[in-house]
């Protein structure tokens, strides 16, 4: 792929049907839960990407039997009933946050062993100490590198007790501990030092734990704590289907807002377990028309006769989509204020700073604080976007590039390091190009 990649703009309104891959968040959780279960699980509609490959390779290094069928989008995992086969392993976690946090807690349940986890330079800037402190309090030996990776884990099984967890840096700390908790020697109560954390992905984790055999009466929660009783994971009786990725869907929800027209997203439903489906409401508030069915979402926007409203909102609960909103904010008829996104400064990159950098290159007026970003629309200008090795920066600005502001059909946005999208959506630019080609074909057929 050309690097930087020139994004071909849509010269006519969108008219296409697309599919997005399975959810990364659900795929990686399902891989861990299946490995810890008694019995074999076939996972369907799996995401095959850099992040999920990291998780698969980590589980293989730990001795689990995994068979992947890329063409069928299936992965079979033979669970070991709460046991971790290999007592030693060196695991490369790349820049996969879910792999880093979930594996750290998972390894703590083993009685004896020695493991080292390390990642790339970006992962070495992502904190792990607060999760490590909680696991240490529950009986695990963990050595971090000044609070970061690489880390060394010498587990002795989780003792089970009341413990306190600071999850302000990432709700994945809570999800990681919840997944490990049923396998502790005794019941675990997790008190949150700060209850104002994102709950969407934690709720997703709890629902998935029940799908893998944890009875609902073994799990309880309040505003400030979670309780998990000691029990065992059991593989689902039927295959486990991974939902299509709501975060990935946000780009195609935004596409008609940039180009006008209509996009149907197959496999995305209103009753999704994923909190990021809330971006559809942001689009509707800005003027889009939504049509939900049991199998898809269709988004329409008439750019010729309608002005795009503000994309302002509190994005805290669905912050993986804030970059989608920020990237198309230059097309809005008024300023956009995106609030409560401070935690995104500690993800694949400082995402607020990365968006400010890209928007300023495009001639936009921005004002950012620690936890917010405001974009005031200004005349657009051509630019090359630095993605900072972050897939969501690349995919978000590509949607803006689909707009044709100079009405000449020429690419005006270039995306540096486009292959960073392999983290969660390996064929993203192919799907985007397919949508453009479908739209051109529909326009040609309509004029015949």
* DSSP code per residue over 240-289: EEPPB-HHHHHHHHHHHHHH-EEEEEET--TT-S-GGGGHHHHHHHTT-E
Between CA 204 and CA 212 the distance in angstroms is 13
Residue that is written with structure tokens 């074999």 in the block:
40
How buried is residue 281: exposed, middle or buried, by Cβ count under 10 Å (0-12/13-18/19+)?
A: middle
Q: How many CB atoms lie within 10 A of CB 147?
A: 12
Task: Give yes or no for a contact between 163 and 209, defined as CB atoms under 8 angstroms apart.
Answer: no
**What are the distances in angstroms from CA 389 to CA 121, 257, 393, 423?**
11, 26, 8, 10
Between CA 100 and CA 96 the distance in angstroms is 6
SS3 15: strand
Strand-pair partners of 266:
19, 296
Q: Is 320 a catalytic residue?
A: yes
Q: Name the H helices within 71-199.
A: 97-107, 129-137, 172-180
Between CA 432 and CA 436 the distance in angstroms is 6
Catalytic: which of 53, 245, 320, 417?
A: 320
Task: Give yes or no for a contact between 133 and 99, defined as CB atoms under 8 angstroms apart.
Answer: no
Between CA 229 and CA 247 the distance in angstroms is 32
- Which positions are annotated as active-site residues? 320
């Amino acid at each position: 792929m050309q690097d930087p990649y020139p994004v071909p703009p849509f010269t006519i309104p969108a008219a296409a049907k697309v599919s997005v891959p399975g959810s990364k968040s659900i795929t990686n959780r399902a891989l861990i839960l299946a490995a810890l279960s008694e019995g074999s699980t076939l996972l369907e509609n799996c995401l095959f990407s850099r992040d999920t490959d990291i998780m698969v390779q980590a589980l293989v290094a730990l001795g689990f039997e995994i068979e992947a069928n890329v063409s069928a989008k299936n992965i079979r995992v033979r669970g070991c009933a709460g046991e971790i086969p290999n007592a030693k392993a060196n695991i490369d976690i790349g820049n996969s946050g879910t792999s880093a946090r979930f594996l750290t807690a998972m390894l703590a349940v083993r009685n004896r062993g020695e493991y080292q986890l390390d990642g790339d330079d970006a992962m070495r800037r992502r904190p792990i100490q607060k999760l490590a402190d909680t696991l240490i309090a529950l009986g695990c030996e963990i050595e971090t590198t000044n609070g970061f990776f690489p880390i060394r884990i010498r587990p002795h099984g989780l003792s089970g007790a009341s413990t306190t967890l600071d999850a302000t840096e990432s709700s994945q700390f809570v999800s990681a501990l919840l997944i490990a908790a049923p396998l502790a020697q005794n019941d675990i109560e997790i008190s949150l030092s700060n209850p104002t954390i994102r709950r969407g992905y934690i709720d997703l984790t709890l629902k998935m734990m029940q799908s893998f055999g944890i009875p609902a009466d073994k799990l309880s929660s309040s505003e400030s704590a979670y309780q998990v009783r000691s029990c065992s994971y059991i593989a689902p009786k039927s295959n486990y289907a991974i939902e299509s990725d709501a975060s990935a869907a946000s780009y195609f929800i935004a596409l008609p807002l940039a180009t006008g027209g209509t996009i149907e997203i197959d496999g995305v439903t209103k009753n999704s377990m994923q909190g990021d489906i809330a971006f559809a409401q942001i689009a509707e508030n800005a003027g889009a028309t939504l049509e939900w069915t049991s199998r898809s979402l269709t988004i329409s926007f008439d750019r010729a006769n309608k002005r795009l409203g503000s994309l302002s909102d509190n994005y805290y609960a669905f912050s993986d989509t804030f970059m989608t909103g920020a990237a198309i904010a230059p097309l809005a008829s008024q300023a956009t204020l995106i609030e409560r996104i401070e935690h995104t400064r500690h993800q694949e990159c400082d995402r607020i700073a990365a968006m400010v950098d890209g928007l300023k290159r495009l001639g936009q007026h921005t004002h950012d604080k620690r936890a917010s970003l405001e974009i005031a629309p200004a005349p657009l200008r051509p630019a090359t976007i630095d993605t900072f090795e972050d897939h969501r920066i690349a995919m978000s600005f590509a949607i803006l590039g689909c707009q044709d502001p100079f009405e000449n059909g020429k690419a005006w946005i270039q995306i540096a390091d486009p292959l960073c999208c392999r983290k969660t959506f390996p064929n993203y630019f192919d799907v985007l190009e397919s949508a453009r080609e479908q739209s051109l074909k529909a326009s040609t057929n309509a004029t015949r």
